[in-house]
Amino acid sequence: MAPVAMEQTARPPSHPAPMSREGRDMIISLSIVTFLATVICTSRMILRKSKGFLGFDDWLLLFALVLLYAQDGLNFAAAIKGGVGVHIEELMEHSIESLEFLFVILYACEVVYTVLIYVLKASILVSYKRVFGTQEMKWVNWAIMGMLGLCTIWFLTSLFMFVFQCRPISAAWKPLEVHGDCLNFIGFIWGMSISNFILDWMILCLPIIPVLKLQMSGLQKGLVIGSFLLGSLACIASTVRASLTSTLNSGDLSKSSALVMTWTVVEPACGIISACLPFLARIFGRKLRGTWTNVVRRTGGSNTPSYGGGKSKTGMPGSGVMKETTVSIRSTRKEMSPVEYEMGSVPDQQKKYQKLDEERESVRNLIP
């Protein structure tokens, strides 16, 4: 991340830069969010392992967690040795070596952040494909692959621009020693950040339509959609980071980059947490569903519709067509529509409910 070009002068005596208040705050904040991401990611892996295996999406998420640790290490080094939060004039005068070290850290952070965000998006999309990738939802597969293609284009473009932002390349991390042509970096950061959070919101909304098409109760659909919408935490973090781009000052990066550097870890940490919450929500969803059942029973209602002859709750006689029936396919209880029961053939009904079984099985990790 190259600052405004500066004239070369005789190198002044250099002393290690003191840790600023912004640097201390950054270390504390990143330690907290990384700890939370680690705990929640570990919980997901334990839950997934208890089902027999870890999928490709799980391994991608673990790789993202490793990259998060690398990003932490770079930011900690910048706070301890690089003079983050200190004005560049002060570093130029007293701590030139710290400033040079900071430029190297900033360059490395850009590359690691780009790879981390892409791996995280890929993990989420692979999870979607595993959950919704049934033969009955081919259009969802195409939508997921299309979104993965957009994310790949964003990744390759961003990585290329980060790596080759200056000519010669070394001018990006040695701006005090090497003069070169560098792109308008703040403008590029704006474009990359805005496109990033747009992709995040598109990924968040992707599973809503296929969930609505599943043959599940309204409560189950609500819980599944709600578990996916927990991913809005990452989208909000991405939006905040994009807005913080306006605080960058290319002439005083050491001072203005502290908050942005903090959010280069907060954003992916929130992304890791959001990627795990839909799976962990199943545990809490069971309790919520049990509470809902108790409420319905205490108010005299029923969780399952009853179709029968005789009298309804209003005292009116039943139609006779409304028969209560349950079909068991692979030991799973299914509710049949009365019209389907009267008009449909048994083989067709069995095929229908076998399809419902397959759909419900595809979201077995998400339905409470």
Residues 167, 63 share a domain: yes
Whether 283 has a pLDDT exceeding 70, the answer reads: no
Q: With respect to residue 10, please indicate whether it lies within any of the assigned structural domains.
A: no
**Confidence band of 42 (pLDDT split at 50, 70, 90):** very high
% of the chain at pLDDT higher than 70: 66
Using 50, 70 and 90 to split pLDDT, how confident is the model at 119?
very high
In a domain, 5, yes or no: no
Query: At 182, is the secondary structure helix, strand, or coil?
Result: strand
Comparison of pLDDT for 326 and 354, the residue scoring more: 354
Buried (b) or exposed (e) across 42-58, using 16+ Cβ within 10 A?
eebbeebeeeeeeeebb
If you write DSSP's letter for every residue of 325-347 in order, what string do you get? -EEEETTEEEEPPHHHHHHS-HH
Looking at the fold, whether 228 and 159 belong to one and the same domain comes out as yes
Q: Are residues 131 and 226 in the same domain?
A: yes
Strands (E) across the chain are located at 166-167, 181-182, 326-329, 332-335
50's CB contacts (< 8 A; 6+ apart) are none
Residue 345 sits in the same domain as residue 212: no
Q: How far is CA 332 from CA 83, 218, 262, 328, in A?
A: 62, 18, 49, 5
**Predicted local confidence at residue 2, as pLDDT:** 52
Q: What is the DSSP string of 213-246?
A: HSS--HHHHHHHHHHHHTTHHHHHHHHHHHHGGG
Number of domains in the chain: 2
* Alpha carbon distance 258, 267 (integer Å): 14
Q: State the pLDDT confidence band at 281, using cuts at 50, 70 and 90.
A: low
- Closest residue by Cα to residue 124 from 281, 231, 233, 283: 231
Residue 126: count of CB within 10 angstroms of its CB: 20
Residues 26 and 54 placed together within one structural domain of the fold: yes
Q: What is the pLDDT of residue 265?
A: 92
For residue 332, the enclosing domain spans 306-368
Query: How confident is the model over 310-328, as pLDDT tens digits?
Result: 444 444 344 333 333 333 3
Query: Is the same domain home to 106 and 197?
Result: yes
Q: Tell me: the pLDDT tens digits for 177-215?
A: 888 888 887 788 888 888 988 998 898 888 877 777 766
Q: Average of pLDDT values for 240-254?
A: 81
In the chain the first and final C-alpha atoms are separated, in Å, by 47
The chain-wide mean pLDDT, for the chain, equals 74
Residues 76 and 203 in one domain: yes
